[in-house]
Amino acid sequence: MDAKRANDWIKKNAEEIGDVSKQIWNMAETAFCEAGSSKLLMRLLEEEGFTIERYEAIPTAFRAVYGTGFPVIGLLAEYDALPGLSQKVSTQKEPAEEDAPGHGCGHNLMAGACLAAALALKEAMESEDEYTIVFYGCPAEEILVGKGFMAREGAFRELDVAVSWHPGKENTVLGTTMTALEAGEFHFRGKTAHAAADPYNGRSALDAVEIMDIGANYLREHVTADVRIHYQITGGGGAPNIVPDKASVLYFTRANNRTHLLETFERVKKCAEGASVMTETDYELRSRGGCYEVLVNETLVHLMNEAMEEAQPPVYTQEELEFAEALNRTSASYEKASKQEDYESIITGVQGVVRSPVGGSTDVGDVSYIVPLVMFMSASHNSLSTGHSWHITATSGHTIGQKGMLYATRSIVRFVEKLLLNPQVLEKAKTEFEESTKDHLYRCPIAPEMKVEDLLS
C-alpha cells in the first residue's frame, strides 16, 4: 500500500468529494427513500472500477467492491436525513424549506468520507490482490434498522474488519457501548359506540393505549438504570363522540445489551396484555425491528486512536472559526462554556477514547456482532452543537463539516496502513471478537417477514 499516493489523492480531490457531500446534503432524503443519494454514490464508484451489487429487498442499499486480496475491509456509509431539520448554511435558525428533511446528523459527510476513503485506498493499491475494499451503502440508520435489513440478506459476513465514522464535535474513538433497541407498534381493536348515547356498548381501543402507557410508566421504577422506554401514540380514533375501535402506540425500548433488552421488552408487552384484559379489547404487536448495542473491540480502538493522532489534522480559516463561534452564541450553554480555559469554537486535537456511557443507539451495533468493528468521530460541527439539531444541518453543508470529513478519510487511510503493516493486530482483534461473541451469537432483529414498505406506511 502506498499511503502517500492515497493522501495525495485526497488532497487533489478534496473539492470534488466536498461537492458530493453537498449534493447529498441538498437532496436530504429520509430513511429508505435515499434514491438520489444511493444512485450518485453507485455511479461514482462504478466509474472508478468498483463492482456494484444491489439488494433486491432494500432498494437504496448496495455493496461496492474493489480488489481481491486479504484483508477484506468494510466501510459503512450512511446517507439518510432527518425529518423536519431543513436548514440553510446560516448562523441563525433558517429552514431552507419549512418542515422539510435536513442532514441534522451529518450523514451526507459520512457518505463523502467513506467514498473518499474507498477511492483513496484503491489508488494506494500496489496490485488488486493486495487487499479488498467493500463500500457498504447503508440506508435508514436514523430508524435503526437499515443494517439489520442488510445483515438479514447476508451483508458484512465477508469482512475481516469494519470501519464506521460519524461526524461529531470532538475527535474521538468510541470505547463504550451504545444501547440496543427493540421497537414495536401495538395495535388495539375494540368496538365503536356513541360516546354520549350508549358508551356502555363500546370497548375503547384508545383506553387500552392509555392504560398500557400508564403501566409502562409505572414499569420505569422497576427496571435497571440503563433502560429507556419511549412511546408515541400513532392512532387515537377519529372523533371524540365515537368510542374508538382502533388505536395504536409505538414503543422504543433500550438497554445496554440485547439480552437484557429483550427481557425488558417482554415486560412492556405484559403492559399491553393487561390493558387488553382491562378494556376487553384485542391487540396485535407489529415489530418495527431493532438493533444491537455496539460491541467494543479494544484492539481496534487503540489502533484507530493512534491513526487519528498520526493523520494530518484540519486547519480552519478565520471565516470558519467565526461561523462556528456565531453558532455557539445561539446555544444556551455559551455563556458558561466560553469562559472555560479549554474553550474552542471548533474542537481541535485528538481527545482520545470515549469511555463514558452513550445513551443513543445505532444499527452499527449489528455489524459489530458480525465482524470486528471500530467506530470513531471527528469534529465536523461547532463545539456546542447538540445531536439532531439545525446547527448540525448548517455545518454539514459548510466547509467546517467537509474538513472534518476529510480528516476522517485521512484517519481511515492511516488505520488501514497500520493494519497492513501489523497483520498480528488484526489477528488479535479477531481473537478478541470471537471471545466476546462466543456466548452471544448474532440473531438478526429484523424478522423474515418484515419489508421495507412496512416502515414507510
User: What domains appear along the chain, each with residue ranges and CATH number?
Assistant: 3-178+293-437 (3.40.630.10), 181-291 (3.30.70.360)
Instruction: Please classify residue 382 by burial: count the beta carbons closer than 10 Å to its beta carbon, then call 0-12 exposed, 13-18 middle and 19+ buried.
Output: buried
Please answer whether residues 80 and 142 qualify as being in contact, where contact means their C-beta atoms are separated by less than 8 angstroms: yes
- Is the backbone peptide bond immediately before 313 cis, with ω within 30 degrees of 0? no
CA torsion 26-27-28-31 (nearest 10°) is -160
Predicted local distance difference test score (pLDDT) of residue 148: 98
How would you write the pLDDT of the chain (457 residues) with one tens digit per residue?
Answer: 999 999 999 999 999 999 999 999 999 999 999 999 999 999 999 999 999 999 999 999 999 999 999 999 999 999 999 999 999 999 999 999 999 999 999 999 999 999 999 999 999 999 999 999 999 999 999 999 999 999 999 999 999 999 999 999 999 999 999 999 999 999 999 999 999 999 999 999 999 999 999 999 999 999 999 999 999 999 999 999 999 999 999 999 999 999 999 999 999 999 999 999 999 999 999 999 999 999 999 999 999 999 999 999 999 999 999 999 999 999 999 999 999 999 999 999 999 999 998 889 999 999 999 999 999 999 999 999 999 999 999 999 999 999 999 999 999 999 999 999 999 999 999 999 999 999 999 999 999 999 999 998 6
Q: Is 241 exposed, middle or buried (0-12, 13-18, 19+ CB in 10 A)?
A: exposed
The answer for residues whose C-beta is within 8 angstroms of residue 105's C-beta and 6 or more apart is: 81, 82, 142, 167, 387, 388, 392
pLDDT of residue 391: 98
- pTM value is 0.96
CA distance 37 to 28: 8
Question: What integer pLDDT is reported at residue 358 of this predicted model?
Answer: 85
Residues pairing with 354 in the sheet = 174
pLDDT score of 93: 97
Cβ proximity of 138 and 72 under 8 Å:
no
Residues 227 and 224: their CA atoms lie apart, in Å, by: 6
| 175: nearest Cα among 337, 357, 404 | 357
Rg of the chain in Å (alpha carbons): 23
